[in-house]
Amino acid sequence: MIFGFNIKKRSKQTLIYDEQFINNQWVLLFKLQQKNSLIPLSEWHKCDHKGAQWLLEFIEANNLQQQPSVDTLIISSKDFITSIKEQELFIQNLLELPPLFDGGIHIISEGLIAKNNYKIKYHWVNSYSRPIIQSKEWGIFLQIGENKFLLPWYAWKIKEEIKLLQTQLVSSSSIQKRLELIEHFSSIRHLLPEEKTWTLTDDGSISKITLFFANAFKIQAVPEKDSFRIEPILLRKKELENLDPHFENILPPIDQEAFIRSFNNSLQLNQYYGLGPGRYLLIHPQVNKALETVHKIQHATKEEKLEFLKNPKAALAEDLEGIINEDELDQIFSDRVIGIGDWNAKIIPWIQLPPNEWLPGGELPNVPFGIDINGDKHQFANKNEVSDLVDKLKNAQKDGYQFYQYGEFSIPVNNENISKLECFLPKKPNTVIEKEDKLKTLTGITDKINQTPVMLVKENLECVEFNVFRHPRVIIPHSNAIPNNVKSEPKPHQIEAFKWLQNHYIAGSRGVLLADDMGLGKTFQSLMFLAWLHEAMKLKEITNKPLLIVAPTGLLKNWEDEINIHLSSGLGNLLRAYGSTLKNLKSGRYLDVTQLKGSDLILTTFDTLTRYQTSFSVINFAVVVFDEIQKLKNPGTQNYSAACSLHCDFWLGMTGTPVENRLCDLWAITDVLQPGMLGSIKEFSTKYEKSILTLGENEQNEIIKELQDGLTKASEKAPPFMLRRMKSSILPGLPKKNIHVKTVLMPNIQANAYQKIIQEVAQQEESGGMLKALHLLRACSLHPDSKRQRQYNSYDEFILQSARVKECFQILDSIYKNKEKALIFIEYNEWHHPAFLPHIIKTRYNLKKLPMAINGQINSKSRQDIVDKFQNERGIFDVMLLSPRAGGVGLTLTAANHIIHLTRWWNPAVEDQANDRIYRIGQNSDVHIYYILALHPEYESTCFDLNLHELLEKKRRLSQQIIIAPPMENDTIDELYAKTFQKNQKIKLPIEESYIHLNGKTYEDLIFQDMKKIAPKFGYIARYTQQSHDKGADIIIDTYDGETKAIVQCKFVDNPTKAPLNLTSDLDRASPYYSNSHSNPLLIGFTNAQKIKKADRTWENNANNRKIVYGKEGLDASNLFDFLD
């Protein structure tokens, strides 16, 4: 597009324009003339007329198709005027169009708005606001007398909006509709530039109307003698993108009082009320219907009023806004659904087991245990506290209370919850090991996602309320062959998984768990199965029903990509029920069920499923696929309950980690897919978790084997419930994977730096010092100058000062000779900087471009572009740098066949995920994985790199077991410190699942203390700002060199449903004060609020270094370091 140049000389050609009404639209026709001859369109690009050149660029930039014409260029007048917005004067001169109109529009009304003959008219006014007597409109032009003018975009747009309003008023049949139209039109003023607001005037018919529109209300109970007066407070609900709906009072206090008087005294409710001259109140019909029930309650007995206040939603009977008829529950919902109501917190007993291996002797000292209420954990100090709580609940039950306030928890008082707590009280003394640590108090944060009704389901917590049995399906697809729609050639193990799913379906299984190792193609295996059923539905062999895929947001795009890769014609009509597309599906508080039912395949997230569970639960699905089903591992949350409420023929769960923290994770997953298979959670926890406390090692192994066999072995009636295969045993066709452990002695300068660190921290005992010491050794083992703070004569000088870096480049030299590709995993983002390691590599190997890097600072689109470019360029030497966490998952980089781990992560699972980027289906070359260990000449047997490698290998062997939770990083760090510094390891079990009672100060302390513990692992220091005059920051994260990496602001709200105030403005205020001149620190806000303002969301999206963490994530300080990574 050509904007803003000066025309230095007059063109030899003349541009001629005309405007005509063709095919129900105004169009502009341009012709180029020279010496009374028209120039063909094909020759315009050779001419020197700047306007003609602009028109050609305009056509190309907007992909506008031209009608066949030799010498005429045709453009829609609407497209033209919209595109030149705010450039009208320049384009008018460039294209030699008539002068711009500099007047305005005046609106007048005829009739009363309460009457059906109400209408509006308008006329044009000049720049002195005087009426123009004779004028005629021609599309985007205005004819005044003999003169023609080009309308500015805002004038043309307002004219079009007025004409639309005129048409709508003619067809309106009620004052409510007319008021709504006027209110909508009044917002047209925002189109005007500030200096042009005078150009739109009226006679008061619009500007003097004030309209209040109520589409929601809340109940207020006012004590009145020995009863209550129930009053509705009118609200307006606003749908905010990516946030929960926002409710606000719409009436000023005087008008609210006037409405209540009218409401109480009237015999019949109205849909609109006049509040004074030009002031009107409109009430949504659905709200008015609910208000009729409230109106009747006004005259009820005090007992009836109290019953109403206990559960107003049930009394109003408008929970689903007409989506379903509640009388049809049994026909529409799953057998597991028992009704609709409010979400009540669940109490689930839990015992926290050791995170990796069983301790010798079969006993576990100080095992934390407690209850899970709605997803939040409370850890008991000892059995006496449990007994005391049970007694208090029983007393509350006797006194007729429905809830007992326990700290910050409101616990439902019923026999079920009392029984759950009594499971901790042994029949014999000392069977539950007491924990004598000081009791930590509770958090007030809840997992309540919204205030809308939820589906109530049968639960298998205390006992088995819902069990399913296999009955072979009678109606099944006629063919068992791989569908014709599948265009990719499946591997033998993938065909085996496809047959396994088919056999389960035919056998009548309700659900199964596909738990294959990463890189085996779980998605493709599932897609073959879905394609098999979809093909049968198209052939009308089985009933046509939608397919549902539920996954984390980041994986849904991958599902679409995999569908395009593997299926020639997809899976039918695809509906994206997540993200920005949700706004097109919403129908009030719910989703448009008609659109959902009319789709062949629906993609959604776990949170969306939970938020709109009442909409999803009325649909009968053929299959639901839960990708990363471990998201449902907690049966005390709405996510879990919402998943259980689905009505579906076949349930498929997918995960690579069926157990993350405790064995009951596996119970929860199984109970969603095949309810009742593992009994109740109480039975399961007693048999498999609590028994481990008293059994010996051999007995423990027998119990675990019994559980594992029950899940992974076939029965007479069906294949095994869980299918889990590892790449090492299932893919003999994969190229060979070679593991190279390179041990290299440190050069003198590195060895001396390492020795100095050992001596400085020899007396260090506290954990903060431990982490700092390990970080310093870890950085030094990479390079004694890992921050590259010194000056070097050459890159070789820098390389030769580090054993690891020197060996890394020797490996790269060999890869370069073979014209192959390599990935280098290194967690320090400084090394990813274009001027650091990428530049060294580019210079050493004379590359045309810098090696690409993927870390936490790369957005998802850029990341995929980098991957595609790396994958598509074959047969050349190339290197990519990745951070272990940002680049270790979700990527396929089989163009490389070498991985160099220049730094190591604490958890072998992270490294294995990184290796799976190249060692997976699609790899055609032998794979080489390099672990480089830098050894100190005097400390070879206790050197940091060697100890870390041995520990990771030990953890790697343990993690191969199917149902043993993966190792925790804290244990690895403790053991590594003990071995490296020759100190005794302290046996301690992390208590990750207890929180503290929160207020503004304790919330800030919670975040700070966690950051203080975690920061040294990443090479950072967390420090408080001063208590007063903090310039808008609470916590600062620095490197050991004093560089500020993050500025943190903590905002606690007493009511989690309210958004925090001044969060982003405080961070903006703090940024210039705490930032270094050469740094651009992360600005991050933490809050316990369940939502944030739209303005805060915009602030976050406008820069890569801005983040807001809220809701339950706002309790987890580790999120900060994910963003920094």
Instruction: Give the burial class of 397: count Cβ atoms within 10 A of its Cβ; 0-12 exposed, 13-18 middle, 19 or more buried.
Output: middle
- Look at residue 483 and tell me whether its pLDDT is greater than 60: yes
> 3-state class of 767 per DSSP?
helix
d(CA 1078, CA 1068): 17
Residue 406 β-bridge partners: 409
CA 1084-1064-552 angle, 5° bins: 50
pLDDT given at position 622: 96
What distances in angstroms separate CA 255 from CA 233, 246, 249, 260, 365, one per listed residue? 11, 21, 11, 9, 65
Report the range of poorest mean pLDDT among 135-144, 408-417, 626-635, 662-671: 408-417
**Beta carbons within 8 Å of 476's beta carbon, 6+ residues apart:** 505, 506, 536, 541, 542
pLDDT given at position 486: 96
Sheet containing 200-202: which strands, arranged edge to edge? 119-125, 104-110, 200-202
The per-residue pLDDT of the chain, averaged, comes to 78
d(CA 528, CA 531): 5
Convert the pLDDT of each residue in 295-326 to its tens digit: 888 778 766 765 665 556 666 654 334 323 33
What distances in angstroms separate CA 173 from CA 286, 555, 689, one per listed residue? 19, 49, 68
Are 614 and 590 within 8 A, CB to CB?
Answer: yes
**Beta carbons within 8 Å of 808's beta carbon, 6+ residues apart:** 824, 900, 902, 930, 932
- Look at residue 1114 and tell me whether its pLDDT is greater than 90: no
Sheet containing 136-138: which strands, arranged edge to edge? 136-138, 141-144, 147-150
- Look at residue 997 and tell me whether its pLDDT is greater than 60: no
Task: Kindly tell me the sign of the dihedral angle through the C-alpha atoms of 128, 130, 132, 133.
Answer: negative
d(CA 822, CA 894): 10
Q: At what angle do helices 767-782 and 944-959 cross, to 10 degrees?
A: 100
- Look at residue 565 and tell me whether its pLDDT is greater than 90: yes
Q: Write down the H helix ranges in 886-994.
A: 908-915, 944-959, 969-980
Convert the pLDDT of each residue in 135-179 to its tens digit: 888 888 999 888 899 998 888 888 888 888 878 887 777 766 777
pLDDT given at position 176: 66
Q: How confident is the model at residue 615 (pLDDT cuts 50, 70, 90)?
A: confident
Tokens 């009594």 sit on residue: 422
pLDDT given at position 353: 40
Report the range of poorest mean pLDDT among 82-91, 692-701, 1096-1105: 692-701
- Look at residue 362 and tell me whether its pLDDT is greater than 80: no
Report the range of poorest mean pLDDT among 80-84, 150-154, 1029-1033: 1029-1033
Average confidence (pLDDT) over 935-956: 86
**Beta carbons within 8 Å of 690's beta carbon, 6+ residues apart:** 351
Average confidence (pLDDT) over 390-418: 74
Task: Kindly tell me the sign of the dihedral angle through the C-alpha atoms of 457, 459, 465, 467.
Answer: positive
Q: How confident is the model at residue 4 (pLDDT cuts 50, 70, 90)?
A: very low
Tokens 């001044």 sit on residue: 1062
- Look at residue 934 and tell me whether its pLDDT is greater than 50: yes
> 3-state class of 919 per DSSP?
coil
Average confidence (pLDDT) over 872-880: 91
How many other CB atoms are found less than 10 A from the CB of residue 728? 12
Q: How does 575-588 read in b/e, with b if 16+ C-beta sit within 10 Å?
A: bbbbeeebeebeeb
Are 945 and 744 within 8 A, CB to CB?
Answer: no
pLDDT given at position 522: 93
Report the range of poorest mean pLDDT among 351-355, 412-416, 590-594: 351-355
pLDDT given at position 859: 61
Q: At what angle do helices 944-959 and 908-915 cross, to 10 degrees?
A: 80
pLDDT given at position 968: 45
State in Å, rounded, how far the first CA of the chain is from the last one: 40
pLDDT given at position 183: 67
**Beta carbons within 8 Å of 680's beta carbon, 6+ residues apart:** 460, 461, 462, 463, 464
Convert the pLDDT of each residue in 492-535 to its tens digit: 899 999 999 999 999 999 999 999 887 788 999 999 999 999 99
HSE-CB at 758 with a 13 A cutoff on CA atoms is 19
d(CA 198, CA 127): 10
Q: Which of 290, 235, 286 is nearest to 259 (CA)?
A: 235
**Beta carbons within 8 Å of 17's beta carbon, 6+ residues apart:** 28, 29, 30, 31, 95, 96, 97
Report the range of poorest mean pLDDT among 142-146, 365-369, 475-479: 365-369
- Look at residue 618 and tell me whether its pLDDT is greater than 80: no
- Look at residue 439 and tell me whether its pLDDT is greater than 60: no
Q: How confident is the model at residue 403 (pLDDT cuts 50, 70, 90)?
A: low
- Look at residue 35 and tell me whether its pLDDT is greater than 90: no
Q: How confident is the model at residue 476 (pLDDT cuts 50, 70, 90)?
A: very high
Are 394 and 418 within 8 A, CB to CB?
Answer: yes
Convert the pLDDT of each residue in 93-126 to its tens digit: 888 899 988 888 888 877 777 677 778 888 888 8
> 3-state class of 480 per DSSP?
coil
pLDDT given at position 221: 56
d(CA 94, CA 87): 11
pLDDT given at position 351: 47
pLDDT given at position 861: 61
d(CA 501, CA 514): 9
- Look at residue 923 and tell me whether its pLDDT is greater than 70: yes
Q: How confident is the model at residue 697 (pLDDT cuts 50, 70, 90)?
A: low
d(CA 209, CA 206): 5
pLDDT given at position 860: 57
Q: How confident is the model at residue 996 (pLDDT cuts 50, 70, 90)?
A: very low
Q: How confident is the model at residue 541 (pLDDT cuts 50, 70, 90)?
A: very high
pLDDT given at position 67: 65
Q: How confident is the model at residue 687 (pLDDT cuts 50, 70, 90)?
A: confident
d(CA 488, CA 338): 43
What distances in angstroms separate CA 591 from CA 243, 482, 573, 574, 594, one per listed residue? 15, 35, 17, 16, 9
Which of 623 and 327 is assigned the larger pLDDT? 623
> 3-state class of 109 per DSSP?
strand
pLDDT given at position 1078: 64
Give the best-scoring range by mean pLDDT among 124-128, 361-365, 676-680, 767-771.
Answer: 676-680
- Look at residue 965 and tell me whether its pLDDT is greater than 50: no
